[in-house]
Amino acid sequence: MKTIAIHQPQYLPYLGFFHKLRHADLFVAMDTVQFQRRGVQHRNRIKTPRGAQWLTVPVLRAPVPRESDGRSEQATRDVMIDTSDDWRRRQANAIRLNYARSAFFEPYWDGLHDLLDQPWTRLFELDMATIEWAMSALGIGTPITYLSELDVGGTGSELLLEVCRAVGADRYLSGPGGKQYMDLSRFDAAGVEIVWQDFESPRYPQQFPDAGFVPDLSVIDALFCCGPDVKSFVE
């Protein structure tokens, strides 16, 4: 049986994202769906002495068509980074300030810093680079394909099923939230089994214990604090 995970790309995602990829035979990155502003496609959180802090990649707003209702829809792969903003320096400083004394900062920092310091212009390419960097650190070798490479259409459950058919998958790995919007009867009729992701955020020693444990931070928090042991968190 072939298990597929289908997900929008995220920026430096949290551990649950990689738990899903670990348990899939193929990851389809949804690069043609609508971008969600102020979501985790262009930001994620780290730990500071005051609790969680967002690392945000500034993006340019798409022009609003004259004939529209005042809103603009923009595919994820078309979102451009605001290169006039010095976000790379700010994020590097924030990461160093809060993690330089963590147990495993040195093994991961140079590679991450070199990645973030590249002259990125498209958010999608940056997101996928951070995902692939973390997959390598976690020893996850799940192959990746892109929604734009598949001849599929539709929305919601129909789109997910079209993707399953296109890649020959008979099992779809979904987060628990899928129960709220998926048409489960369609999957049953199509002979595609739904597997519900079973992931619980692990507790591990973080920086700044006086601030309390903060779950579901960017994967870099766990990597800097726990190093190679993080691989077991996504098993």
**Residue 178 has what pLDDT?**
87
Half-sphere exposure of 14 (CA within 13 A, CB side): 17
Whether 57 is covered by a domain: the verdict is: yes
Whether 164 is covered by a domain: the verdict is: no
Name the residue with tokens 């976690």: 138
**Residue 48 has what pLDDT?**
98
Q: Say how many domains are in the chain.
A: 1
**Residue 71 has what pLDDT?**
55
Q: Which long-range contacts (CB under 8 A, 24 or more apart) does 112-116 make?
A: 112/220, 116/88, 116/91, 116/92
Whether 99 is covered by a domain: the verdict is: yes
Whether 137 is covered by a domain: the verdict is: no
Crossing angle (nearest 10°) for helices 15-22 and 123-138: 70
- What is the tens place of the pLDDT at every residue in 18-35? 999 999 999 999 999 899
Nearest by Cα to 163 from 146, 186, 188, 182: 146
| DSSP string across 45-80 | EEEETTEEEEEE--BPPPPPPTTSSS----BGGGPB
Whether 133 is covered by a domain: the verdict is: no
- What is the tens place of the pLDDT at every residue in 55-65? 999 999 876 55
**Residue 230 has what pLDDT?**
98
Whether 163 is covered by a domain: the verdict is: no
Beta-bridge partners for 171: 3, 193
Please return the burial class of 200, using the count of CB atoms within 10 Å of its CB with bins 0-12, 13-18 and 19+. exposed
- What is the tens place of the pLDDT at every residue in 141-159? 999 999 999 999 888 999 9
* Whole-prediction pTM: 0.94
**Residue 28 has what pLDDT?**
98
Domain that holds residue 72: 10-127+142-156+175-234
Whether 183 is covered by a domain: the verdict is: yes
| pLDDT beneath 50: ranges in the chain | none
Whether 200 is covered by a domain: the verdict is: yes
